Chains A and B, each alone.
Chain A
């Protein structure tokens, strides 16, 4: 869901590109945050809580809270609300704490 016309604002969008989200191809605009592109495509569940596996969406949208952490190009815990989207990115719902530098968290 994108705003088509706005009384005050004009949105400068980047190039239209595609990326994959859990294996599915999704379109978005280059440079916008990954979470914005996902939200525009109707994806609102970005992660699951560690202990109770409850669904999580974004909360702050400014990189403060880590509610939007996902795995991007194999790197876990990327704050998708601030990470700029690039063509061909592989975005995945993260399971557990993720693996940093080859050391599993869970």
Chain B
């Protein structure tokens, strides 16, 4: 059977950093990615990053992906398998991969899950019409493959993703008649929101889409105002002619394999849904299974990279690698995480992590 000392699943910022940090300590890493290229969500991000210099602030996401990918592919301690989707977990530390139509079992000593997240959908009549796409999907089509999603695109959700993708649509020459947000306030950072507003895109807060219409593909959506208790206000319906509606209403961690492996999970809305319980150094309740990035709770690429570093260092340490430098490196990574999570923008994740800890205390 194929053997991997440390098996890393997923090559977004979390998986790339986990691979590098474990391999730098001397461990042998096998990195598997179901896509044909490495980088995860980063490959489609054309905007500059926030955060500290350690996490590549002021660099564009796809440039960060290029750098990390090159470092991983050149590292003698990392074996990269692309086009390899992890399918399932089996007893005795075995995971099966689907590669070129074949099922390949791999056994590991330690596994780091960095599978990221999937986009949430929203229910309303005809929400399945072609032309209603996830915001990440539109970003992939446009920024990775150079294909325009449509001519007039409405955005549902004014968090960072909704607002950033709206900006990228404008850059690609697409008309964005409106960004629609059910909450009374915009979730996105204000720099992003003011940028799209300056470009003439209205952001309608306390409004939502109630239905979509079109034969075979989307032709228009009906939007409506919401009252203080999130109920539609009758008589406020408005038609919006669009051929695409982008849904940017959050992400859910891709945790199937962790459930299967028997990791203890908890439902924490602030972290995006069911997430695994973990130690301070990213180990789950199942020994030698670690997590990093969005799969451990929806956050940002910057934090995903630091979590990847922590998981990689710890997996290597527990297999006997890098014992001398471990404490120092972990302390440095923890300082970075704290810095990323401080202030008002980190409040949601801090609350989520606190609530997750509390569920453990209740159990014990």
Shortest C-beta distance, A16 to chain B (Å), equals 14
Q: Tell me whether B134 is interfacial, beta carbon within 8 Å.
A: yes
Chain A at the B interface: mostly helix, strand, loop or mixed? loop
Q: Say yes or no: A60-B118 contact (C-beta < 8 A), given A9-B46, A36-B147.
A: yes
Query: Do residues A39 and B131 form an inter-chain contact, with CB atoms below 8 A?
Result: no
From A1, A9, A61, A64, name the one whose CB has the most chain B CB atoms within 10 angstroms. Answer: A61
Query: Do residues A55 and B129 form an inter-chain contact, with CB atoms below 8 A?
Result: yes
Please indicate the chain B residues that have their CB under 8 angstroms from the CB of A49 in the complex: 128
With beta carbons under 8 angstroms apart, the residue of A11, A57, A60 that contacts B136 is: A60
CA distance A82 to B121 in the complex (A): 20
Q: Tell me whether B216 is interfacial, beta carbon within 8 Å.
A: yes
Q: Tell me whether A63 is interfacial, beta carbon within 8 Å.
A: yes
30 residue pairs of the A-B complex, CB under 8 angstroms, read: A2-B147, A2-B148, A3-B146, A6-B146, A6-B172, A8-B60, A9-B143, A9-B146, A11-B145, A39-B149, A44-B130, A44-B131, A45-B217, A46-B130, A49-B128, A55-B216, A55-B217, A56-B128, A56-B130, A57-B130, A57-B131, A58-B137, A59-B132, A60-B118, A61-B138, A61-B140, A61-B141, A64-B254, A65-B118, A84-B36
Q: Tell me whether B264 is interfacial, beta carbon within 8 Å.
A: no
Q: Tell me whether A33 is interfacial, beta carbon within 8 Å.
A: yes
* Pair count A-B, CB < 8 A: 93
Q: Tell me whether B133 is interfacial, beta carbon within 8 Å.
A: yes
With beta carbons under 8 angstroms apart, the residue of B35, B60, B217 that contacts A62 is: B35
Q: Tell me whether B142 is interfacial, beta carbon within 8 Å.
A: yes
Chain B at the A interface: mostly helix, strand, loop or mixed? loop
Query: Do residues A60 and B119 form an inter-chain contact, with CB atoms below 8 A?
Result: yes
Please indicate the chain A residues that have their CB under 8 angstroms from the CB of B145 in the complex: 11, 32-33, 36
Given A3-B146, A60-B118, A61-B137, 9 additional A-B pairs, CB 8 A: A2-B148, A3-B172, A9-B46, A11-B146, A36-B145, A39-B149, A44-B216, A57-B133, A59-B137
